[in-house]
A and B are shown apart, each in its own frame.
Chain A
Amino acid sequence: MNNKQFDVAIIGAGHNGLICGAYLARTGLSVVILEARHETGGGLETLEFAGHKYNLHAIYHMMAEIMPPYHDFNLKARGVKYIFPEVQTAYFNKDRAPLLLYRDPEKTAKFIAAHFTDKDGERYRRMYNDFSAYFEKCLLPFTYVPAMGALDMITALENGSDETGRKFNAITELTPTEIIDLYEFSDPLKACFLNLFTMWGISNFDGVGFLFPLYFNRMTNAALCAGGSHRLSSALHKTFLQAGGVILDQAEVIRVSTTGEKADGVILKDGREIKAKAVVSTVDPQQTFLTFFDKDRISPDLTESAQKWEWEKQVFFGAHIALSQAPRYIGTERYPDANRALISFFNIDSTEAILNHADAIEAGRLPEQPIGHATCTSIFDPIQAPEGLHTGRWECLVPFDADWDRIKDAYAQKCLDTWKSFAPNLDPIDVYAYPPTYIEKKFKNMVRGSIKQGSYKILQMGAFRPNQYCSQTWTPVNNFYVCGASVYPGGLIIAGPGYVGANVIAEDFGVQKTWEEPECVKQARQNGFIRET
């Protein structure tokens, strides 16, 4: 192993590294993936303890069956099954009826008409349809092609053959609150819809509002991976192995080796050296550019952009619990569907409160009253708990800096008290408090508990993610590529960076691709939204 020369060495076995590796291995290239941890999958982690499956990180898979690898690797036959709960979200508030968002927009519109106003129901229909079109025709295809410059994108959308492009252009400069205002929603509905975006720790809306329709659309079509999120990475792992790929775990990369101007391999912490014609980093820009290379190998611009990389200021606190019963929420006698929502939100009724809450966290203050959400996976997927028991997951936004070692258990209790105030039958058998400091301890590239490997702000999005030099997978270092969550299109389980990376690298190697471009991309090309390559 030590002396073996590979075609491609990939740093990091998160879903992007595994996807990139599996596509490339399937073209016949020899690929090795180096993973620092003892397990692969990155954020697709499912901790099994006493028969409960705790999804400590990723849980709602936004791109589930529509991400290209799902079809290209026939993941269905490899045990990846997605469950799409009919009731996607329930917003509980003690003073009024819960708001339920169904996966079927018509059902939601009717629910809103019945329990809020007729007009709101009609507005929901309109917004949902607009957002679906933006998602399907623009945002989805853009996820699986290399980053386009903002001006190029606007021009292409403006001049395309489908009017959706022009309509989408008209809102891309707006903030999520402004977009919701276009549809004349007011609180509490406005707050609830906004929350589907802000729940990911995004609060600086400058220049990222264009993502709001995507989040709205996806969070009303979210899926659970049956058996836990790790099933996806496990299937990707096996796809990669069966294509002849090699995975080394507990293999922490500390350097990228170079000959002349070219990357030619990696050096591991234990001293092993691995040679490769191309090196790919899926970890964050700071490790990638500030620690893997000598300073003089990297241009000052690149060094500076890596130094300036910003991590999210709002991060997750989780409480993972073994339950003897599924939660039954108060006031659901009239709304039995509310007990079957994938995600239950509590106390979200004011846009101002949400924004203030976000501001407070950004300023480093730990919310006295956590605003969070809860999921009981085993309602939909009984295998995630021992027979007759249930598995619950609480998550809320918090600042990273707090004395978490000391307060984590008490804070988890506070969160569970909030949850229990809406679900009085909540009876935790076991509680695993999971503060953001644990996230950083587990993953070197989730610095300060990062959710998306770096904040979503305008200068870290689109063609600027991670910077203007590297957002299309290539980097200024020859034979060195990047395709992790810090690269366009970004984080969460969307498979974008790894897929785009595989395409770019396969083209550079001149190998025959074993896959076809996704339909949505073909359609976007036909519409003129994406230029021919």
Chain B
Amino acid sequence: MAEYDVIVIGGGINGLTCAAYLGKAGLKTMLLEARGECGAHCDTTETNIPGFLHNLHTTWLVTAMSPAMAELELEQFGLELCTTDVIYAKTFRDRKNALICNNPFDTMQNWEKLSPRDAGVIRLATETFLPRIMDLIDVFHRYMFTAPKLQTLDDLDAIYTPFFKQIGMDATFKQIYEMNGFETMNRMFESEHIKTLLQSLSWISGLSPIHPKVGSSGTALLGPLTGPVVPVHLCKGGGHSLTHALVKAATAYGVKILPCCPVQTILMENGKAAGVRLSDHAVYSGETFTARTVVSNVTVVPTFIKMIGEDHIGTEMAARIKAFSYEEQNLIGVYYALSSQPRFASADFDEGIQRSCMGYFGGENSFEMETYARNLVNRTIHDKAIGNWFIPTLADPSQAPEGCHTSFVWFDVPPTPGKWKSETVDGFMDWRRIKERVADMITDTYEQYAPGFKNLILDRTIYSPLDMYRNNPSAIKGNWAGGSVIPEQFFENRPVPGVTVNGASRTFLPNLYLSNSIHPFGSSNLASGYIAACEVATDMGVRDQIWWNEKACMWLLANAARIPTNLGVRRAS
């Protein structure tokens, strides 16, 4: 008799989600976390001056679209979302900015100033998609929260192709899907401001525009929707509050959570996963636990290569898994404690940017964005800082002392750089040597877009891919998505063809499931954890629960109006 029905390895937010669902469904579930705190990629800490909370990973959340919001009762367990009315702002050297706002009419108003034609596109998107919101939700639920099926692409085609025709793109969804995010934006918009706005948003969502399928999904599929619906929020108290809520939920649903318990080995019995053995460094040094089912929330390479081993999976499969890439979706982060709010030079163009808790600078046009993306593939650190900036305290002032703010910038970098400007860089370990100077470049760039920024800095913390990897060795090279989101590792191919069978989380080894590295990819929508929970529950005969019937986005539709907005925005006097 196994001691547990389910053991989940890894207390990241998707592991916690999976465990909480299974606990709630009545399975005897244990979750083992290697770190002291759960939520390695949903972590908020006071890394420099106390009182300034820095979100080292997940900051903007798309949890509101997850069925887990209602089914796990995350609000009852302390999750409080908040937002700003302008949710995304790309600022440019010509002192203009492009905004995405919660109210589509605000977005249109800003775009009108950049390109009346492009504003028309987003108006049409709003008029087209808002009335069909239930159809969209249905297809999105299947796209994000169930195993990838090619049928879903047909359904998307039925919805999107007429829209694309209407705006004169002269291609079907399926044709557009094969393009990259630069081509799609060139076809959809005329303004470089707006093209790069959506390219950048796609990129920071994990869908780098340089790749076909991936880039088109982020730009052409999701881009037009940012007019009608922006499911993006922050979490009061920082991203880690989502971890807290999931830990509390899982605990309440009877899940036993043991931190500081890294797993060394997944135990195999007659070719089936049967339990785990902890590392000698664990609090329960070297102990073994047996289970009917094992879910790994560790990424695919350490799961199969380290915890199971080539003996059990064969050389050929091992070679395919080892080729899984972690080389894109890596960041260096610079976290600032600020004495007050920075003012962007483009605020005179549209003051809305001063009410946005996040945005982007650099990458003035598609060509520059594309060069930046190509450099990444070529292991070159881009010679200009281009990146995603945040000022979370505009949405949630509790993340800094009164009157003060936090801000940070994420800059996409190759984890194993070979080159930066004219300098040769010696790979992953060289981050120790160069990170200060890369951070200086980022700080200088911030100053260019928001003059006076440097005078506000009280302290800063730098967080390189090497630091991220040390924080979470499952995130190889500091990758934040459970493995790069590239066409060979996307949708039906994810993570590696042949690793998952009959779904998205069931692996080729009986009784072993994955809730990381799988479809769609690591994200705060909690989809991977949800999918794993669904498949495990089905296989163990407990899927049929009256509370387990929610669809994506339904919670958001019902509750969006009461999410507090602009809590940290000082009113003009």
Binding site for B on A (CB under 8 A): 38, 46-53, 79-81, 226-228, 230-231, 234, 238, 241-242, 248-250, 381-383, 386-387, 389, 405, 429, 432, 438-439, 441-442
Whether the pair A47, B50 counts as a contact (CB closer than 8 A) is no
Whether the pair A47, B259 counts as a contact (CB closer than 8 A) is no
Min Cβ gap A311→B in Å is 18
Min Cβ gap B477→A in Å is 14
8 Å CB interface, B266-309 against A:
281-284
A234-B36 contact given A50-B471, A383-B282, CB 8 Å threshold:
yes
CA separation between A441 and B51, bound complex, in Å? 6
8 Å CB interface, B224-278 against A:
236-238, 240-241, 244, 248, 251-252, 257-262
Whether the pair B36, A231 counts as a contact (CB closer than 8 A) is yes
CA separation between A241 and B47, bound complex, in Å? 28
Contact of A230 among B36, B48, B258, B282 (CB under 8 A): B36
For residue A387, which residues in chain B have a CB less than 8 angstroms away from its CB? 473
For residue B466, which residues in chain A have a CB less than 8 angstroms away from its CB? 50
Contact of A442 among B46, B259, B261, B467 (CB under 8 A): B46
Contact of B49 among A47, A383, A438 (CB under 8 A): A438
For chain B, give the interface size range.
35 or more
Contact of A51 among B37, B48, B471 (CB under 8 A): B471
Min Cβ gap B198→A in Å is 33
For residue A231, which residues in chain B have a CB less than 8 angstroms away from its CB? 36, 259-260, 283
For residue A383, which residues in chain B have a CB less than 8 angstroms away from its CB? 260, 262, 281-283
A429-B50 contact given A50-B471, A228-B36, A231-B283, CB 8 Å threshold:
no
A50-B470 contact given A231-B259, A382-B281, CB 8 Å threshold:
yes
Min Cβ gap A516→B in Å is 26
Residue B500 CB within 8 A of the other chain: no
For residue A52, which residues in chain B have a CB less than 8 angstroms away from its CB? 470
CA separation between A389 and B258, bound complex, in Å? 23
A49-B471 contact given A230-B36, A231-B283, CB 8 Å threshold:
yes
Contact of B467 among A50, A238, A242, A432 (CB under 8 A): A50
CA separation between A79 and B463, bound complex, in Å? 29
Whether the pair B45, A249 counts as a contact (CB closer than 8 A) is no
CA separation between A230 and B473, bound complex, in Å? 21
Please give me the 3 A-B residue pairs with the lowest Cβ-Cβ distance, nearest first. A227-B260, A51-B470, A442-B50
Min Cβ gap B3→A in Å is 14
CA separation between A419 and B262, bound complex, in Å? 32
For residue B283, which residues in chain A have a CB less than 8 angstroms away from its CB? 79-81, 226-227, 231, 383
Residue B78 CB within 8 A of the other chain: yes
CA separation between A230 and B236, bound complex, in Å? 22
Q: List 19 A-B contacts (CB under 8 A).
A: A38-B44, A50-B466, A50-B468, A50-B470, A51-B467, A51-B471, A227-B36, A227-B259, A227-B283, A228-B260, A241-B252, A248-B78, A383-B281, A438-B49, A438-B50, A439-B50, A441-B50, A441-B51, A442-B51
Residue B188 CB within 8 A of the other chain: no
Q: Name the CB-closest residue of A to B401.
A: A441
CA separation between A46 and B240, bound complex, in Å? 15
Whether the pair B259, A49 counts as a contact (CB closer than 8 A) is no
8 Å CB interface, B304-357 against A:
none
Whether the pair B260, A226 counts as a contact (CB closer than 8 A) is yes
Q: A80-B283, A250-B237 are in contact. List 14 more A-B contacts (CB 8 A).
A: A51-B467, A52-B470, A79-B283, A81-B284, A227-B36, A228-B260, A231-B36, A241-B248, A241-B251, A248-B78, A250-B398, A387-B473, A389-B470, A438-B49
Q: Scoring B residues 475 to 509 as 1 if CB is less than 8 Å from chain A, else 0, what string do you get? A: 00000000000000000000000000000000000
Contact of A47 among B45, B237, B244 (CB under 8 A): B45
For residue A386, which residues in chain B have a CB less than 8 angstroms away from its CB? 470, 473
Residue B61 CB within 8 A of the other chain: no
Residue B96 CB within 8 A of the other chain: no
Contact of A38 among B240, B282, B284 (CB under 8 A): B240
8 Å CB interface, B432-470 against A:
432, 458, 463, 466-468, 470
Min Cβ gap B133→A in Å is 32
Residue B35 CB within 8 A of the other chain: yes
Min Cβ gap A503→B in Å is 26
Residue B53 CB within 8 A of the other chain: yes
CA separation between A126 and B46, bound complex, in Å? 47
CA separation between A95 and B19, bound complex, in Å? 58
Q: Name the CB-closest residue of B to A387.
A: B473
CA separation between A438 and B459, bound complex, in Å? 13
CA separation between A438 and B50, bound complex, in Å? 6
Min Cβ gap A435→B in Å is 10
CA separation between A50 and B463, bound complex, in Å? 8
Q: Name the CB-closest residue of B to A386.
A: B470
CA separation between A387 and B280, bound complex, in Å? 12
Whether the pair A53, B36 counts as a contact (CB closer than 8 A) is yes
CA separation between A45 and B284, bound complex, in Å? 21
